[in-house]
Structure 1
Amino acid sequence: MAGPGLGGHSAAERLLLLLLLPLAQAEGPLMFVAVVFRHGDRAPLASYPTDPHKEAVSDLWPRGLGQLTGEGVRQQLELGRFLRSRYEHFLSPEFRREEVYVRSTDFDRTLESAQANLAGLFPESAPGRPEAAWRPIPVHTVPVAEDKLLRFPTRSCPRYRELLREATEATEYQTALEGWTDFLIRLENFTGLSLVGEPLRKAWKVLDTLICQEAHGLPRPAWASPDVLRTLAQISALDIGAHVGPPHAAEKAQLSGGILLDAILTNFSRVQRLGLPLKMVMYSAHDSTLLALQGALGLYDSHMPPYAACLGFEFRRRQGDLGDRGGNVSVSLFYRNDSAGRPLPLSLPGCPSPCPLGRFHQLTAPARPPEHGIPCHSLREPARHAAAAVPLLAGTVAVLAALSLGLGVLAWRPGCLRAWGGPV
């Protein structure tokens, strides 16, 4: 289901959304914020056999394939400065560990993106500060194999594989794929890759390489016309839809983006219940993380999150029905996919923004994991015991000790520029 602000809107629609933004911001005082953002610009993840630039990889990308570039650092600095301006009166001027918690996947590009973002958000961690005034800010992570929050089960979850197989065997999917057979055969000849009948992520990686190279001033090969890039993008959108869309979109979300969504809601609930001073949680992740989260919210609209795209959740006090599960709290969503413009407000399908928290819980419940745990077992196999929850936020200060006891939700893993076999 399409969501406002994710692309595809007319100028008039965008203007209307921008005019509505101040109304959402004026709803009430902020209580808690969670932001999920994609890392900044990076080098290509891989090359292909006929890549005309493959012999110069070490010169073109001296830090290595898949690594954050200088442009990526700049994008994250700019995003951090945007967050500082948006939350100038909500966050303390300097970093306080009891107020802000930062979590990243265990990849160089996301860890560095988090650091660059924080340098924009908190001036004391910015580059160029006098040595005595510089203060690094901690970014938390776990090993890739142990990440149960920001990576999802494309390979390790039998039930997810069943759902994905059902989607890819559907008539609509197969018809689209058959229509691209000739295209993929031609692409095999151009790239030297085996593509027909192979996982489509090989085609996605070709697209990723071409886009990254062009973004850094390298000429595309003659065969890589705009039509070729558009077709590769269509293949990517088909696959994303299979991963986050129907059939059984809600069940897929329970095994992917719904886990992070549930974590965000659980964090807010427990911070309020325990009276903790935590104000913001930041997640530095990948396009696949954002896509899965958009899918869980019913807001995926076939557009790829660009570098440094940011999806924000703002919890505010409101005047509402105190008998509602959410009490006098509302949730507003925003999406920032263009540093040149203002962030666009999003509305959860079925609930205009700002959405009362109780209604938000109700509408997203089918996409969030059930209380008994992640339903990952195959329907063709006996159910196994639910995996144990893992700590979501593990602060080291005493005031966060209570937080680390309870903020635990299970999570899994996603993919590439749209290769769901590995994050990008």
Structure 2
Amino acid sequence: MNTACMHQVVFLVLSIQLVARGQELIQANLVWRHGDRSSRHTYPKDPYKDVWKDGSMQLTEQGMSQEYDLGLFLRSKYGHLLSEKYREGEIFIQSTNIDRTIMSAQCVAAGLYAPKNITKWNGIFSPWRPFPVHSGGGDWLHQLYQDPEHGCPEYEKLMRKIRVSSAWYTETDTKYAEFFKNMTKFTGSQNVYTIDTIGGLYDNLFCLKSNGFKLPDWVDGVTMDTLIHLEGVKMGLSFTDYEMKYAKTLSKMRAGIVLSHMIDNMDKRIRGDTKYFLVGYSGHDVSVGPLLTSMGAYNWINPPYASCAMIDLYREKDGSYFVKFWYRNDSNSDPLPLNFYECGHTCSYETFKSVAAGVVTDGDTPSLCGLNKDNKSCSDIAVPVGILVTILGLCIGVSLCFCVARKRKSVNSDDVQYSPLPMHMSGGNNQL
């Protein structure tokens, strides 16, 4: 029996057990990472500068297969919710406006609706058919990918503050100084690598390795393990901070948007305002990672290609609702049931929403990011009537944005549980 059939049998049995207990799965909200891609970084001594025939950061054939397999898995898990053939109103998929995520979404859909027989459309016999994937430069999911680094001034400001004040960065720069120096020498880079820039080198080597290329002789097992370690931790520290002083705010800026939309989808399903059984978001590691972090489930390992976080909404026979959280980070294994917040693997919907309120944006991302409704920063809102009036306008604008952000509904930081720090960050002995 192949893997897809095994998954289907397992989830069919689970579905029967739930129905027997009067529990019904009524909606699934998913966010997945694109598949394997070409690298985004090169360096002066890179022997593979021109190896990517389709260009940089493009989905590879391996990546297409990974996403197709994800679609097959989703069919095995959620097939009882969906028609065998695509029907408008049952499923909605949105992608960032990036080539590799749009293509990944199409591949997921191809696996999710893989025809059992050869179908015909446009006069062509094919085992595939077109599928609607929503994307666009102005949509929120694309903005989440572009922001906060390029469009959320408050995030940039906060990250700079953390970078300067956090002892972890200083200690890491010192601890890995020799490693960074060696990587700079081997690559021929003009600027010495740091914790902030080493991710580019990791990306280059990882992409080459995953596509079967022989790495340079100076890349041994220890080197790759160190790069993987640094990338995973640095990834996590773009969603939260070592000292956990700004964890809730950072979660709002990074994961709160996705989580807000997922909760809105579930609210609509409960009210009967939507018939969508499955809502999927095709994104990046910076789409999956923040969601895991905000729910206290990030394992400090960069979300792999085609990884998928799933929040399932169930209805009890008494009319109440609960959610379950899953994470699929290995195509060869069943998804992991993740413990989140104080709930464990299963959480009543009311408790879930109550705790999540501390990290969702409530649709007020512009204020949170220090932007006005026209997406201009508060520092740009000044009436050009003399220098004094301009300065006063600037001060008032900044103050108003700060006040709005401060008045937003929130809970104490202690009320939201975040992922525990990995051993290497909390004083353990497994340091590289």
TM over 0.5: yes
Deviation of the 1:53 alpha carbon? 1.8
**Among candidates 66, 70, 75, match of residue 57 of structure 2:** 66
Question: How many angstroms does 1:202 deviate by?
Answer: 3.4
Cα distance between partner residues in 1 of 2:16 and 2:248: 27
Q: Partner of 2:92: helix, strand, or coil?
A: strand
Q: 2:173 touches 2:194 (CA, 8 Å); kept in 1?
A: no
- TM-superposed CA distance for 1:23, in Å, is 9.4
**Deviation at residue 186 of structure 1 after TM alignment:** 1.6
Distance 1:237 1:85, change over 3 A: closer
Q: Indicate the residue corresponding to 1:422 in structure 2.
A: none
Q: Map 1:18-417 onto structure 2 (within 5 A).
A: 22=14, 26=18, 28-54=23-49, 57=50, 60-124=51-115, 129-130=119-120, 131=124, 135-143=129-137, 147-169=142-164, 170-196=166-192, 200-245=195-240, 246-318=244-316, 328-370=320-362, 372-373=364-365, 374-377=367-370, 381-384=398-401
RMSD of equivalent CA atoms: 2.9
Q: How many Å apart are 1:271 and its aligned residue?
A: 3.3
Contact residue 110 and residue 129 of structure 2 kept, 8 A: no
Q: Which has the higher contact order (CA 8 A, sep 6+)?
A: 1
Tell me if structure 1 keeps the 8 A contact 2:36–2:66.
yes
What do residues 283-320 of structure 1 show as CA deviations (whole Å, max 9, x unaligned)? 11101111111111121121111110011111001256
The superposition leaves residues 103-160 of structure 1 with CA deviations (integer Å, 9 ceiling, x where unpaired) of: 0111111111111111110124x99744257531111101179733555312322221
What is the CA-CA distance between 1:353 and the residue it aligns to? 2.3
Match of 2:375 in 1: none
Tell me if the contact between 1:150 and 1:260 (Cα under 8 Å) persists in the aligned partners: no
- Provide the C-alpha distance between the structure 2 equivalents of 1:296 and 1:365, rounded to a whole number of angstroms: 11
**Alpha-carbon distance in 2 for matches of 1:362, 1:218:** 49
By how many angstroms is 1:22 displaced?
A: 4.6
Q: Aligned to 1:64, what secondary structure does the other structure show?
A: coil
> Deviation at 1:46?
2.6
Q: Which has the larger radius of gyration?
A: 2
Specify the code of the residue in structure 2 equivalent to 1:84: R
The aligned amino acid for 1:112 is: M
In the alignment, the residues of structure 1 paired with residue 147 and residue 174 of structure 2 have an alpha-carbon distance, to the nearest angstrom, of: 28
Show the counterpart of 1:408. none
Q: 1:239 to 1:25 in 2, by over 3 A?
A: farther
Please state how far the C-alpha of 1:25 moved relative to its aligned partner: 7.4
Q: Structure 2, unaligned stretches of length 5 or more? A: 1-9, 371-377, 380-394, 406-432
Secondary structure, aligned partner of 1:31: strand
Return the letter of the residue paired with 2:368.
P
Rounded to whole Å, the distance in 2 between the matches of 1:281 and 1:200 is: 36
Q: Give the direction of change, closer, same or farther, for the CA distance of 1:347–1:269 in structure 2 (3 Å limit).
A: same
Percent identity of the aligned residues?
30
Checking the alignment, whether the CA contact within 8 Å between 1:173 and 1:238 is kept in structure 2 is no
* SS of equivalent residue, structure 1 residue 338: coil
Query: How much has 1:358 moved relative to structure 2?
Result: 0.5
Equivalent residues of 1:39, 1:109 under 8 A apart: yes
- CA 110–25 in structure 1, closer or farther in 2 if over 3 Å, else same: farther
- Give the whole-Å Cα distance in 2 for the aligned partners of 1:76 and 1:240: 22
SS at match of 1:212: helix
